[in-house]
């Protein structure tokens, strides 16, 4: 009799959970195939066995695991969605249980354990909790603030989400055990120590996020100052190299031909300068292309990045309109110029990192000056899933761990700047960032 | 009526293009008008800004005063459905990504079999004329322009609370309702399920028994409701 009661109670619980999962998957209960009904009954059987025969310390873990497997394999949802859906429905069940028990205990002045001693008391409890879960789900579904929180969780990388879910299930299990079952002091101390470790881990992660953010800001500050130095180095080295070589030729003519050692030494030095010239020659095209880009850090930045692009077999094109020269941004103050370089640095890095992972490696850069507005556009081919509204959020990235801070840095700069604006557009498979500077 | 807008700084090129257009249009039923320009001047821009139907642009890639590519970009900010054909004097090897960004139909080299190629391009552009070839909308400060032919389906994910536009090359996830998306799309799109809109032109077959749609690129979709199957088949 008890087995029947528990089985029916489990079936009702599973049906309620199934309703919530189906609503989250945009499917109707009527869309169920016979295979799903079969596995539904199987899940209810597993829950019954779990309740009656399995050690109380492992019940929640086992049933959550079985539910995730059911949603993943039978309902054919992606693993990430399966985890979120099951944890969500279980959380609703826990909240419903708390509400029911509070109502029974404080308002009705009953003890929940006494209630379950009555015939069908357990079944009644399950029915009430199932109905409450569905009601709470429908209320939460209407509240946008809470909807947004669910979608934020779904953006987490898969591995992180699985790890957090496992920790979450263990914590919930231990807290519930403490509430429902008598635990020895020693075991309680162990449980609480475990919980302290988890909370410490969470705090460290928060601090880690903060330091990543600071690191990216420093990176682009250094990049800016290096870019200015680099511009000066490119120009002066070319000139120096040529002059030094000429000086050596002159010196060679002044030394008697009988001094073979001196001539050999000079030949070696001239050879070295000629090798450097070959290297400059190879980069001559790039040097010529970037010659008209405004100086003050921007030219050096483009030169560096384009050199990297060329060396990594990324197809690119650079267009600098005819009315632009190296003095075009002279009216921009130092502070805004630094900000501009940081923004362009981030956009170029992102474009490069995005195309490096895909087969279609293409980047296009346009510089245009039109009626006192200087415009820089950086386009790249897209490969990944793109979530546009998350692009400027800290930590969001399609590039994996320890990325996602550059664009949030750009966002912070744009908020403060009075002269620089940025636009994002997606046309087909091309992602484009356009920076406009008022001069 | 089809409106051909031709611009080249050389009168001979404009005349040759006009002759080619006339030859192509003689053989079909559409009324048409040719607008000739020799520079991207104010008069040209007036045509660009006008609400003329079915525009087909045939543009010089570079004139003495302006770049045809910049003009094409300006055209695209106003109008995503008109056809653009570029005339050029040399191979545009460096114009990486340009086609996908500006969505032009083709580059035609003025000095290499241009008449035949131009004829083919005009014939193709007549097929696209007046149709909704791309959708444009804004979401979170970004402007999206997606050619409708690239879209396989648009679905709604209730877990992530997002609309997902599935194309051949990328999935776009944005916070927009499906009802807003269907308004942007033309008659080539229909609901397959209350949470899914499909591109009927891209459907290869509909398996009514298993309720699966197979697209022409091999992708499959199981968001099919019996309520919408009949409508899809009749629309297709």
Decide if the complex's ipTM is over 0.85: no
Please indicate, yes or no, whether residues A138 and A222 belong to a single structural domain of this protein. Answer: no
Q: Which domains are present in chain B?
A: 2-128 (3.40.50.2300), 135-235 (2.40.50.1020)
CA nearest B64 in A: which residue?
A322
Residue A195 within any structural domain of the chain: no
- Asked if residues B190 and B200 have their Cβ atoms less than 8 Å apart, the reply is yes
Please indicate, yes or no, whether residues A172 and A225 belong to a single structural domain of this protein. Answer: no
Please indicate, yes or no, whether residues A272 and A385 belong to a single structural domain of this protein. Answer: yes
Please judge whether A391 and B70 are an interchain contact, meaning their C-beta atoms are less than 8 angstroms apart.
no
Please indicate, yes or no, whether residues A336 and A262 belong to a single structural domain of this protein. Answer: yes
Strands B142-147 and B151-157, by their bridges, are: unpaired
Res A437 pLDDT > 90: yes
**Partners of residue B167 in chain A, C-beta under 8 Å:** 428-429
* Higher pLDDT among residues A340 and A120, named by residue: A340
Whole-number CA gyration radius for chain B = 20
Residue B171 at interface with chain A, using a CB cutoff of 8 Å: yes
In chain B, what percentage of residues exceed pLDDT 70?
92
pLDDT of residue B214: 93
pLDDT of residue A224: 67
Residue A192 within any structural domain of the chain: no
Give the C-alpha separation, B103 to B73, whole Å: 9
Mean pLDDT of chain B: 84
What residues contact A8, with CB distance under 8 A and at least 6 apart?
Answer: A123
- pLDDT tens digits for A251-276? 777 778 788 888 888 887 777 777 66
Instruction: Report the residue from A26, A84, A385 with minimal CB separation from B173.
Output: A385
Q: Tokens for B208?
A: 């009514």
Please indicate, yes or no, whether residues A170 and A218 belong to a single structural domain of this protein. Answer: no
Please judge whether A386 and B170 are an interchain contact, meaning their C-beta atoms are less than 8 angstroms apart.
yes
Give the C-alpha separation, B229 to B236, whole Å: 11
Phi, psi of B5, rounded to the nearest 5 degrees:
-115, 110
Q: What is each CA distance from B123 to A229, A351, A390, B59, B107, in whole angstroms?
A: 55, 37, 42, 16, 15
- Asked if residues A413 and A341 have their Cβ atoms less than 8 Å apart, the reply is no
Mean pLDDT of chain A: 78
A88: domain range? Answer: 2-182
Residue B153 β-bridge partners: B166, B198
Res A343 pLDDT > 70: yes
Residue A425 at interface with chain B, using a CB cutoff of 8 Å: yes
Shortest Cα–Cα distance, A170 to chain B (Å): 23
Residue A150 banded pLDDT, cuts 50, 70, 90: low
Give the C-alpha separation, A33 to A74, whole Å: 10
Q: Within chain A, how many helices (H) and strands (E) appear?
A: 14, 6
pLDDT of residue A73: 87
Please judge whether A426 and B145 are an interchain contact, meaning their C-beta atoms are less than 8 angstroms apart.
yes
- Asked if residues B137 and B149 have their Cβ atoms less than 8 Å apart, the reply is no
> Torsion angle of alpha carbons A235, A236, A239, A240, nearest 10°?
-150
Count of domains in chain A? 2
In the Cβ-directed half-sphere of A352, how many Cα atoms lie within 13 Å? 17
Residue A73's nearest CA partner among A49, A40, A30, A28 is A40
Residue B92 banded pLDDT, cuts 50, 70, 90: low
Residue A143 within any structural domain of the chain: yes
Length of chain B, in residues:
236
Res A152 pLDDT > 60: no
Residue A373 within any structural domain of the chain: yes
What residues contact A203, with CB distance under 8 A and at least 6 apart?
Answer: none
Q: For residue A106, how many other CB atoms are within 10 A of its CB?
A: 9
Give the C-alpha separation, A215 to A5, whole Å: 59
- Which of A137, A164, A182 is the C-terminal boundary of a domain? A182
pLDDT of residue A183: 67
Instruction: Report the residue from A154, A362, A427 with minimal CB separation from B96.
Output: A362
- Asked if residues B153 and A435 have their Cβ atoms less than 8 Å apart, the reply is no
- Asked if residues A352 and A361 have their Cβ atoms less than 8 Å apart, the reply is no
Q: For residue A195, how many other CB atoms are within 10 A of its CB?
A: 15
Phi, psi of A122, rounded to the nearest 5 degrees:
-65, -40
Residue given tokens 């990235």 in the structure block: A397
3-class SS of residue A57:
coil
Give the C-alpha separation, A210 to A194, whole Å: 25
Segment A414-439 mean pLDDT: 89
- Which of A182, A200, A235 is the C-terminal boundary of a domain? A182
pLDDT of residue A173: 73
Residue A198 within any structural domain of the chain: no
Please judge whether B101 and A430 are an interchain contact, meaning their C-beta atoms are less than 8 angstroms apart.
yes
Residue A206 within any structural domain of the chain: no
**Partners of residue B81 in chain A, C-beta under 8 Å:** none
SS3 content of chain A, % helix, strand, coil (to 5): 70, 10, 20
Please indicate, yes or no, whether residues A354 and A273 belong to a single structural domain of this protein. Answer: yes
Q: Which burial class, exposed, middle or buried, applies to A290 when counting CB atoms under 10 A from its CB (0-12, 13-18, 19+)? A: buried
Residue A36 banded pLDDT, cuts 50, 70, 90: confident
pLDDT of residue A111: 62
Residue B91 at interface with chain A, using a CB cutoff of 8 Å: no
Shortest Cα–Cα distance, B145 to chain A (Å): 4
CATH number of the domain that residue A383 is part of: 3.30.565.10
Residue A402 banded pLDDT, cuts 50, 70, 90: very low
Please indicate, yes or no, whether residues A176 and A304 belong to a single structural domain of this protein. Answer: no
Residue A19 within any structural domain of the chain: yes
Please judge whether B143 and A424 are an interchain contact, meaning their C-beta atoms are less than 8 angstroms apart.
yes
**Partners of residue A432 in chain B, C-beta under 8 Å:** 101
Shortest Cα–Cα distance, A282 to chain B (Å): 19
Segment B106-123 mean pLDDT: 81
- Which of A160, A182, A204 is the C-terminal boundary of a domain? A182
Residue A300 within any structural domain of the chain: yes
Segment A54-63 mean pLDDT: 79
What is the secondary structure of A395-416 as a DSSP string? Answer: T--SS-TT---HHHHHHHHHHH
Please indicate, yes or no, whether residues A298 and A422 belong to a single structural domain of this protein. Answer: yes
Res A40 pLDDT > 80: yes
Please indicate, yes or no, whether residues A236 and A381 belong to a single structural domain of this protein. Answer: yes
Interface of A with B in 251-310 (CB under 8 A): none
Give the C-alpha separation, A109 to A388, whole Å: 53
Please indicate, yes or no, whether residues A145 and A241 belong to a single structural domain of this protein. Answer: no
Length of chain A, in residues:
439
CA nearest A145 in B: which residue?
B161
Size of interface A-B (CB pairs under 8 A): 122
CA angle A353, A336, A387 (to 5 degrees): 35
Give the C-alpha separation, A63 to A45, whole Å: 11
DSSP conformational letter for B151: E
- pLDDT tens digits for A389-401? 555 444 444 444 4
Please indicate, yes or no, whether residues A143 and A59 belong to a single structural domain of this protein. Answer: yes
pLDDT of residue B18: 93
- Asked if residues A434 and A383 have their Cβ atoms less than 8 Å apart, the reply is no
Please indicate, yes or no, whether residues A258 and A111 belong to a single structural domain of this protein. Answer: no
pLDDT of residue B99: 67
Please judge whether A429 and B103 are an interchain contact, meaning their C-beta atoms are less than 8 angstroms apart.
no
pLDDT of residue A436: 94
- pLDDT tens digits for B8-58? 998 999 999 999 999 998 877 788 899 999 999 999 999 998 888 789 999
Lowest-confidence segment of A111-125, B5-19, B130-144 by average pLDDT: A111-125
């Amino acid at each position: 009799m008890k087995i029947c009661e528990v089985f029916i109670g489990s079936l009702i619980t599973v049906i309620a959970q199934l309703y919530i999962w189906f609503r989250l998957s945009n499917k109707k209960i009527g869309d169920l195939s016979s295979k799903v009904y079969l596995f539904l009954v199987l899940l209810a059987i597993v829950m019954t066995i779990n309740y009656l025969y399995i050690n109380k310390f492992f019940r929640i873990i086992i049933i959550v695991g079985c539910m995730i497997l059911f949603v993943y394999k039978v309902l054919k949802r992606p693993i990430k969605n399966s985890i979120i859906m099951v944890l969500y429905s279980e959380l609703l069940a826990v909240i419903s249980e708390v509400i029911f028990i509070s109502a029974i205990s404080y308002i009705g002045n009953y003890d929940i354990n006494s209630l379950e001693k009555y015939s069908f008391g357990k079944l009644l409890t399950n029915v009430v909790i199932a109905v409450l879960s569905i009601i709470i789900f429908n209320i939460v579904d209407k509240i946008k603030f809470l909807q947004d929180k669910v979608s934020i969780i779904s953006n987490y990388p898969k591995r992180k989400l699985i790890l957090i879910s496992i920790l979450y299930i263990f914590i919930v299990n231990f807290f519930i055990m403490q509430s429902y079952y008598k635990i020895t002091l020693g075991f309680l101390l162990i449980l609480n120590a475990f919980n302290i470790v988890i909370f410490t881990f969470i705090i460290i992660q928060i601090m880690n996020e903060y330091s990543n953010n600071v690191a990216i800001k420093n990176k682009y500050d250094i990049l800016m100052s290096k870019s200015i130095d680099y511009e000066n180095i490119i120009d002066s080295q070319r000139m120096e190299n040529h002059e030094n070589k000429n000086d050596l030729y002159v010196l060679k003519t002044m030394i008697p031909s009988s001094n073979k050692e001196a001539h050999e030494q000079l030949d070696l030095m001239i050879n070295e300068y000629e090798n450097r010239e070959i290297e400059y020659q190879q980069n001559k095209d790039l040097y010529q292309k970037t010659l008209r880009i405004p100086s003050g850090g921007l030219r050096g930045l483009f030169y560096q990045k384009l050199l990297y692009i060329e060396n990594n077999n990324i197809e690119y094109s650079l267009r600098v309109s005819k009315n632009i020269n190296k003095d075009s941004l002279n009216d921009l103050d130092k502070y805004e110029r630094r900000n501009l370089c940081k923004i362009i640095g981030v956009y170029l890095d992102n474009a490069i990192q995005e195309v490096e992972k895909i087969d279609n490696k293409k980047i296009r850069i346009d510089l245009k000056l039109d009626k006192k507005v200087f415009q820089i556009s950086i386009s790249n081919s897209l490969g990944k899933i793109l979530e546009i509204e998350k692009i400027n959020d800290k930590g969001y990235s399609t590039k994996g761990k320890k990325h996602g801070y550059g664009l949030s840095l750009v966002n912070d700069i744009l908020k403060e700047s009075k002269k620089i604006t940025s636009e994002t557009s997606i046309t087909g498979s091309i992602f484009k960032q356009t920076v406009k500077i008022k001069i | 009526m089809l409106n051909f807008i031709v611009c080249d700084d050389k009168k001979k090129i404009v005349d040759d293009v006009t002759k080619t257009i006339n030859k192509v249009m003689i053989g079909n039923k559409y009324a048409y008008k040719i607008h000739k320009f020799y520079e991207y001047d104010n008069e040209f821009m007036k045509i660009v800004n006008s609400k003329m139907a079915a525009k087909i642009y045939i543009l010089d890639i570079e004139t003495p005063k302006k770049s045809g590519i910049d003009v094409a970009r300006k055209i695209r900010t106003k109008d995503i459905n008109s056809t653009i054909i570029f005339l050029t004097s040399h191979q545009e090897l460096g114009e990486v990504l340009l086609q996908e960004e500006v969505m032009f139909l083709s580059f035609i080299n003025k000095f290499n079999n241009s008449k035949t190629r131009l004829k083919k391009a005009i014939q193709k552009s007549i097929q696209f004329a007046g149709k909704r070839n791309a959708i444009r909308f804004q979401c979170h400060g970004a402007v999206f322009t997606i050619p409708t032919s690239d879209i396989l389906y648009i679905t709604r994910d209730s877990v992530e609370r997002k609309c997902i536009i599935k194309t051949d090359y990328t999935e776009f996830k944005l916070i927009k309702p499906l009802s807003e998306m269907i308004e942007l799309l033309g008659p080539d799109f229909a609901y397959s399920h209350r949470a899914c809109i499909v591109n009927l032109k891209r459907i290869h077959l509909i398996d009514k028994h298993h309720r699966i749609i197979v697209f022409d690129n091999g992708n499959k979709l199981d968001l099919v409701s019996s309520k919408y199957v009949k409508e899809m088949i009749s629309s297709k």
